[in-house]
Amino acid sequence: MAGSLTSLRDPRYRARLRALALVAPLVIFIGVTFIAPLGTMLTRSVYDPVVADVLPNTLRLLDSWDGVGLPSEAVYAAASEEISQAEAERSLGLVASRINRVRGGLRGAITHTSRELRNVQQGSRRESMIAIDSVWSDPATWHAIQVTGERFTSRHYLNALDLQRLPDGSVVSQPDERRIYVHLFWRTLMISALITLLCLVLGYPIAHLIARSPPQRANLLLILVLVPFWTSLLVRTTSWIVLLQTQGVLNDLLVAIGLIGDDGRLSMIYNMTGTIVAMTHVLLPFMVLPLYSVMRGISETHMNAAASLGATPLQAFLRVYWPQSLPGVGAGALLVFILAIGYYITPALVGGSDGQLISNMIAYHMQTSLNWGLAAALGGVLLAGVLVLYVVYERLIGIERIGLR
Amino acid sequence: MMSGTRPKFGRILYLGFCTLVFVFLVAPIIVIVPLSFNAEPYFTFTEGMLRLDPDAWSLRWYREIIFSEAWVKSFVNSIVIGVSATVLATFFGTLAALGLASSAIPARRAIMGMIISPMVTPVIIAAAGMFFFYSELGLGQTHLSIILAHTVLGVPFVVVTVTATLAAYDSTLNHAAASLGAGPWTTFRRIQFPLIAPGVISGSLFAFAASFDEVVVILFMGGIEQRTIPRQMWAGIREQISPAILAIATFLIVFAVLLLLTVNWLRQRGEARA
Amino acid sequence: MNYHIKLVALSVLIALFVAACSTEEAPYVTAVSWGGSYGKAVNESANIPFSEETGIEVRVEDYNGGLAQIRAQVEIGEVHWDVVDLEIADAVRGCDEGLLEPIDFDMLTPAPDGTPASEDFPDEVKTGCGIGSLVYSNVYAYNAETIRGPAPETPADFFDLEKIPGRRGLRRVPHVNLEFALLADGVPANEVYAVMSTPKGLDRAFAKLETIKDQVDWWEAGAQPPQMLADGQVVMSTAYNGRIFNAQVLEDQPFVIVWDGQVYDIGQASIVAGTPRLAEARKYVAFLTSTESLARIGERISYSSVRNSGQSLVTTHLTTGVDMAPHLPANPDNMRNALRFDWAWWADHQDELNERFSAWLAL
């Protein structure tokens, strides 16, 4: 800082200030309405104070429990008091559903216990709770309460990777029937890679054709690529349902020309095939546009020179054209892949059950199971993956070149 | 003989393949247009339609939509939300693009990365985050929260498009104007803005299209009072799919083609000037 | 730029924002129900007359069952739904979790002869936070025109891919499907819940579902099965009996209901805890569950009132004059192997089974 007065007079400094002042409103706007919401959501993947706030004494007393036998009478007394109080304050459902996620069946047990506790006036709380429901004599129940009582927790991330922490602190795999997320991440990656490949195979030749057409025709062909780009995603998805369903246009056509019998109609939608076909269609323009903008800059003369030196068209293509088009291939493939791994709408509508991707599981935990911590953790893993790809894209290609026309 | 036909054969193969890809791109969209005039509640061409029997064709699904309170309301919502989000996105986006075009801007790449991030972040994550955020602010299920969300999702389109236009803008014009005594504001208003206007308009059309087609945010954050056309279509596709959806789809296709041709025309005009 | 244009643009913008942000509203209540032909019947029978009588607007929202949205709204602290038409197992759980307002029978409409509501509703439909309204049933139906092979008659036929090939529709939830699978696997109706209470029994139910898994199209909204049957997307599908009935009488669809092994249940009207429109919601529930409203619904769709005073009010369908009795779940001819949905069992097991079911589906 060499004196603010001189620097304010410095035209470079003023230009910089002016530029920053122009950018600032948007940066602040995105910070508040986009980055902050992402942050609050990711916080949920590691932080949940509800159980700790509602059952503070129970948790404190559980600290001195040996973890093997029954907890002390004091724990039961605190638990029964806090459960009854939570019921009165209508926060019991929140607590019970959290504990239930760690150990299935406890939601019913807890709400049922609170109902019965109203009739219990005296005597040992331990005996009366165990009499109401035998889960209270199971150490696993108290472990589940301890686990959910942690304000800061890694269990959602462990869960998102099909892992769990046992009471002794060791990290092991989830039981078989709960081990689905790694499989789904893997499926998401594979389907996205396949779609990227399909887009490349379909998109490369037409980008090439457009790049080598005279301007008028190129513009017309580009419009054909852009029509799907601008058409509503839901319209395109509807189209594929209309085309591919069992009684749809394509099956009718195949039956009419006798290729398949009326009994042999193909299942092309509401399964993985539906997801792949519809997503390839949706994402193809994102491959063609960057390819086209690179190919437009490749001069014909190189190919002609190669040909005149005796190279076959294939050799000339592989040695001369393909390497020059690689930046477009990279840009298109990365963009398609990034968009594919986060896709939600199309698989939700046409994916049936085996065409669901990780985003659909996030939506399920957001809207149906309400396991928001797990949804946030799955989202965190997905977001980390996208960020890595995004940084790669930024380094290799530069984000301003995201193909838009 | 062989060497004469082989490249030809290859070329036919190549052109044939390209044709198929174009068919793949466009045919699914075109196919639902005639189906929206189906007199029957089915999604396939009835025999009558194929025979061009006039009784097999009808406007009943269009009538159903025009007289449906739910569809009309969703159309109004789509317009109100789309226009508001577009105005905001265009305003913030154009300002930022002007700032980013200056060579004096520090940390340009980082800022650009942040501004573009809503475009590449999986929408489901963004929508989930915004759902919590606005609900906690007491703004859940309001038009305002959805407009703000759509603004964020649309703003990268404006920034990218305007930045591309500004790259073609000759900055010596600014110096020329300044040397003739024009202040920065006058220069912008009289010289720079008219020249970049096509880019600004294209960008705003992109932003509008993004909002007009947005489903996930609406699904997470909207209630019945915020139902938009895509939300209404979503329910239709998932639950009671009727050819009325195809009638709406046809309308949206026509709308998309108009937008596309406008943007294309603006771009060509911009290129012609540059 | 022309200043007039600026002025116009500015005022349009302000108008849009005012329109978007205006909060001053007439009294209303958000009523959430099951959409489709049932939703239409409720609309005509209760919502429209209610608005005319009280001046309170009824905003109708459709959903496909479950407590998720209510839990989310209560947890996040913003209640948008006021009255929800719940499945009874959900009403019981929602009550236990503090998601629903307790129902006071004194606020409900008495029977036309003056019998207080607390005596007019049978005890078994009173669940603390919900009030039973209509008896409906989960059945399966087929399209007589598209089915190949012999006509199905039992739950076992639904699972017999050799006897009757083709795709099937099932609701994308575990409840009712597990019962249905066990019935199909030969478990007598009165033992179904005992079998389901053992881990082995649950495995057996899932294993039975697994046998047709790759032939199933899963539906969520009650309006889907009639549509899927009409389109020929599936040859048979489970469905709510009233939806099939309406497709039969109003659209002349050649659907046939298989009553054998039906699982009947009772719909519950409940008020979401913490709604800012409690008074309106109570008025609406009283109106909706009145003997007259339920009778009007019963004239439009084949669900019967649970109220004692409503038993003999409905005889024929409103517009077609079809005799309703043979189409009601409680008709003796339809009761063979009928199973009464055990909501208490499901209230206790729903969470773990929902999780297991969605994992089973995803793999």
On whether residue B29 sits in a domain, the answer given is: no
Q: Kindly report, as residue ranges, where domains of CATH 1.10.3720.10 are found in chain A.
A: 181-401
* Residue C179 and residue C64 in one domain: no
Own/partner pairs, A397-401, CB within 8 angstroms, 24+ separation: A397/A327, A397/A330, A397/A331, A397/A334, A399/B112, A399/B113, A399/B116, A400/B112, A400/B160, A400/B163, A400/B164, A401/A290, A401/A293, A401/A331
For residue B208, name the pLDDT band (cuts at 50, 70, 90).
very high
Q: Do B138 and C231 make contact, defined as CB atoms within 8 angstroms?
A: no
Supply the CATH number for residue B243's domain: 1.10.3720.10
Q: Do B123 and A344 make contact, defined as CB atoms within 8 angstroms?
A: yes
On whether residue B132 sits in a domain, the answer given is: yes
On whether residue C224 sits in a domain, the answer given is: yes
How many structural domains comprise chain B?
Answer: 1
On whether residue C355 sits in a domain, the answer given is: no
Which has the higher per-residue pLDDT, C223 or B18? B18
* Residue C100 and residue C196 in one domain: no
By the CB < 8 Å criterion, does B114 face chain C? no
On whether residue B82 sits in a domain, the answer given is: yes
Amino acid at the residue C301 = I
Supply the CATH number for residue C177's domain: 3.40.190.10
Q: Using DSSP bridges, classify how beta strands C168-171 and C83-87 pair: parallel, antiparallel or unpaired.
A: unpaired
Q: Do C231 and B83 make contact, defined as CB atoms within 8 angstroms?
A: no
> How far does CA A268 lie from the centroid of its chain?
25
Query: How far is residue C245 from each of residues C158, C241, C322, measured CA to CA in Å?
Result: 19, 6, 10
What CA–CA distance (Å, rounded) separates B115 from A399? 10
* Residue C177 and residue C254 in one domain: yes
C257: containing domain: 138-264+336-346
On whether residue C57 sits in a domain, the answer given is: yes
> Does the pLDDT of residue A389 top 90, yes or no?
yes
* φ, ψ for residue B107, nearest 5 deg: 50, 45
On whether residue B253 sits in a domain, the answer given is: yes
**What is the share, in percent, of chain B residues with pLDDT greater than 90?**
56
What CA–CA distance (Å, rounded) separates B105 from A185? 39
What is the per-residue pLDDT across C53-97, written as a single tens digit (0 to 9) for each? 999 999 999 898 888 889 889 888 889 999 999 999 899 888 888
* Block residue for tokens 């911590």: A373
For residue A292, name the pLDDT band (cuts at 50, 70, 90).
very high
Contact B260, A230 (CB under 8 A): yes
For residue C5, name the pLDDT band (cuts at 50, 70, 90).
low
* Residue C91 and residue C38 in one domain: yes
Report chain B residues whose CB lies below 8 A from the CB of A245.
Answer: 43
Would you state the pLDDT for residue B2?
42
* φ, ψ for residue C320, nearest 5 deg: -105, -15
Would you state the pLDDT for residue B240?
65
Mean pLDDT for the stretch of residues A135-147: 93
How many structural domains comprise chain C?
Answer: 2
On whether residue C62 sits in a domain, the answer given is: yes
What is the per-residue pLDDT across C324-345, written as a single tens digit (0 to 9) for each? 999 999 899 999 889 999 988 8
B166: containing domain: 66-273
* Residue C169 and residue C33 in one domain: no
Q: Residue B188's closest chain C neighbor by CA?
A: C1
Would you state the pLDDT for residue A402?
60
On whether residue C326 sits in a domain, the answer given is: no
* Residue C148 and residue C239 in one domain: yes
Q: Which of residues 20-59 of C touch B (CB under 8 A)?
A: 20-21, 30, 35-36, 59
H helices present in C26-130, as ranges: 36-42, 48-54, 68-76, 88-96, 117-120
Query: How far is residue A77 from each of residues A74, A82, A131, measured CA to CA in Å?
Result: 5, 9, 14
> Does the pLDDT of residue A312 top 70, yes or no?
yes
On whether residue C363 sits in a domain, the answer given is: no
* Residue C205 and residue C87 in one domain: no
CA distance C204 to chain A (A): 15
Q: Which of B157, B149, B175, B182 is nearest to B94 (CA)?
A: B157
Q: Which of A229, A206, A62 is nearest to A147 (CA)?
A: A62
ipTM score for this prediction:
0.91
By the CB < 8 Å criterion, does C19 face chain B? yes
Would you state the pLDDT for residue C15?
60
Mean pLDDT for the stretch of residues A353-357: 86
> Does the pLDDT of residue A1 top 50, yes or no?
no
* Residue C158 and residue C283 in one domain: no
Q: Which of C233, C194, C236, C195 is nearest to C212 (CA)?
A: C236
Q: What's the distance, Cα to Cα, between the start and end of chain B in Å? A: 49
What is the per-residue pLDDT across C207-218, written as a single tens digit (0 to 9) for each? 999 999 989 989
B129: nearest CB among A37, A209, A313: A37
Statement: A181-401 belongs to CATH 1.20.120.1200: no
Question: What is the overall mean pLDDT for chain B?
Answer: 89
On whether residue B262 sits in a domain, the answer given is: yes
By the CB < 8 Å criterion, does A246 face chain B? no
Joined together, the tokens standing for residue C72 give 């989310």
Report the predicted TM-score, pTM, of the whole model to 2 decimal places. 0.88
On whether residue C297 sits in a domain, the answer given is: yes
Q: Which of A341, A280, A294, A34 is nearest to B116 (CA)?
A: A34
Contact C245, C259 (CB under 8 A): no
On whether residue C318 sits in a domain, the answer given is: no
